[in-house]
Structure 1
Amino acid sequence: MERVSVSGTRVLTPAQVRGAAEVPLGEQLISVDTETIEARLAKTLPRIDTVDVVRSWPDGIALKVTERTPVLLVHKGGKFIEVDDEGVRFATVSRAPKGVPALELAISRTGSTAASLRRFGENRLVREAVRVAGALPASVAHATRSVKVRSYDDISLELTDGRTVDWGSSEKNAEKSRTLTALMKAEPGARHFDVGVPTAPASSGS
């Protein structure tokens, strides 16, 4: 076994993947343990979502990588934690990637939102925000500055141009996504949209 090829990387470099894979060069190709290499990569490089380790006859190994894609950013200590659509916090970066909204937890420890925090816990509320972010139409996702969570059923969006969207809970996300797209086309001058009840959407402002 003489060569290792890498495909599918976007943020990671092929050299990083090859180094983490530690493919045993010089061994017979048939004896290479592909499952061990996959497990090693998943553990060493959490940015990797999936990897296929494929024997490439007669003398190579191909590493076919799919990286995680951030749908939300958590700001912490001057850096940004990338969170994917499964709620996995997989990387900390010093510069925010473009087109990825920030998570804003506007949860009070007292008052009306405290009951939601006690019932669901902060991690569950973060996952609900992730579900919303992952369901946004691409055009809206790229134009979203932040996803704000006040409680389980009070999630809202702030767009980069100052427009806002009341989303409600993460239930019926696909329906809300379609409704928002249609509402934005029908009311291009509106500044606020409400799709909390997707069968009765509303818009206001100009």
Structure 2
Amino acid sequence: MEQEERAARRTRRRFARRQWARRWLSLRYVLAFVAIVALLATSIWLVFFSTTLQVKRVEVVGNELLSDGRIREVADIPLGDQLALVDLGRADRRIASMAEVQSVDVTRTWPDAVRIEVVERTAVAVVELGGTLRGLDKDGVVFREYKSAPKGMPRVRPGAGAGTDALKEAATVVSALPEDLAARVDHVEVATVDQITLVLRDRRQVLWGSAEESELKAEVIDSLLAAQEASVYDVSVPGNPTVR
């Protein structure tokens, strides 16, 4: 009888342990679900509502021509907005529309900053437009003002029929010139996209034609200037240059 009672108690204990194990297994799923929901709710609160992840700083790097304040003004990123909700694309487009900007990258810097990295245009020549001396970059974009032309930088003189395409061609030509040759150029006369002429500081002229094969033309004229004295050099067809 006593053995039967001990066996029954053991059976009841095993049953109780199995019951508790099943309850604990169910409880673990419930606790895990509650923990996930709590974590998700906390994350949502931190990202979208907490002051911890609000924009407190707008960092600007890479700029020299434009001031930090001007770039921040154009970017129009309000301090105090939630960092996760800042429209980076809008800020990127606004800054990229500035003439001085060649490219821009706007990113979030957690936990509380927006970083604006700017690459500004570099002038390869100057051009006078409307009585104002402006910089011309390698892509033919007019972007900044000068009180006087920087030393050694060629001046582009567009003719009455020269449009933006002609300025771009002229910029391509100047960009292809080696530094020592560019320093010898007084100005670049641009009649049309196909009629570009370099006027050297000693008044000799180089008939360039269009911007096609500019690197080859630069090599040819460099050799011609060293080998032969002339008033006019024609490298519009670099395979068959002429002088007179």
Which TM-score bucket, shorter chain as reference?
A: 0.7 to 0.9
CA drift at 1:183: 4.2
> In the alignment, what sits opposite 1:176?
217
CA drift at 1:130: 2.7
Match of 1:10 among 64, 77, 91: 64
SS of the counterpart of 1:71? strand
Structure 2 residue 239 is matched with structure 1 residue 199: yes
Alignment of 1:43-54 (within 5 A): 43=97, 45-54=98-107
Match of 2:124 among 71, 76, 80: 71
Structure 2 residue 87 is matched with structure 1 residue 33: yes
Q: Kindly, what percent of the aligned residue pairs are identical?
A: 36
> In the alignment, what sits opposite 1:137?
178
Higher Rg: 2
**Structure 2 vs 1, CA of residues 10 and 180 (structure 1 numbering), >3 Å: closer, same or farther?**
farther
CA drift at 1:193: 4.1
Amino acid at match of 2:111: P
Deviations 1:156-203 (A, max 9, x none): 11233544322122221122123334445x439777544222223456
CA contact (8 A) 2:141 2:168 kept: no
Structure 2 residue 99 is matched with structure 1 residue 59: no
**Structure 2 vs 1, CA of residues 105 and 41 (structure 1 numbering), >3 Å: closer, same or farther?**
closer
Q: How many pairs does the alignment contain?
A: 190
CA contact (8 A) 1:146 1:157 kept: yes
In structure 2, C-alpha distance between the alignment counterparts of 1:135 and 1:22, rounded to whole Å = 38
SS of the counterpart of 2:157? strand
CA contact (8 A) 1:148 1:157 kept: yes
Q: Which has the higher helix share?
A: 2
> In the alignment, what sits opposite 1:19?
73
In structure 2, C-alpha distance between the alignment counterparts of 1:19 and 1:72, rounded to whole Å = 29
Is there any run of 5+ residues in structure 1 with no aligned partner, and where? 108-116
TM-score normalised per structure 2: 0.64
Amino acid at match of 1:15: G
SS of the counterpart of 1:18? helix
Q: RMSD of the TM alignment (CA)?
A: 2.9
CA contact (8 A) 1:79 1:95 kept: no
> In the alignment, what sits opposite 1:101?
154
**Structure 2 vs 1, CA of residues 151 and 88 (structure 1 numbering), >3 Å: closer, same or farther?**
closer
Amino acid at match of 1:65: V
> In the alignment, what sits opposite 1:114?
none
CA contact (8 A) 1:53 1:62 kept: yes
Determine which structure has greater relative contact order: mean sequence separation of CA pairs < 8 Å that are 6+ residues apart, divided by chain length: 1
Deviates more, 1:49-58 or 1:76-85: 76-85
Amino acid at match of 2:240: A
CA drift at 1:52: 0.5
Deviations 1:108-146 (A, max 9, x none): xxxxxxxxx5xxx64443333233223222332344221
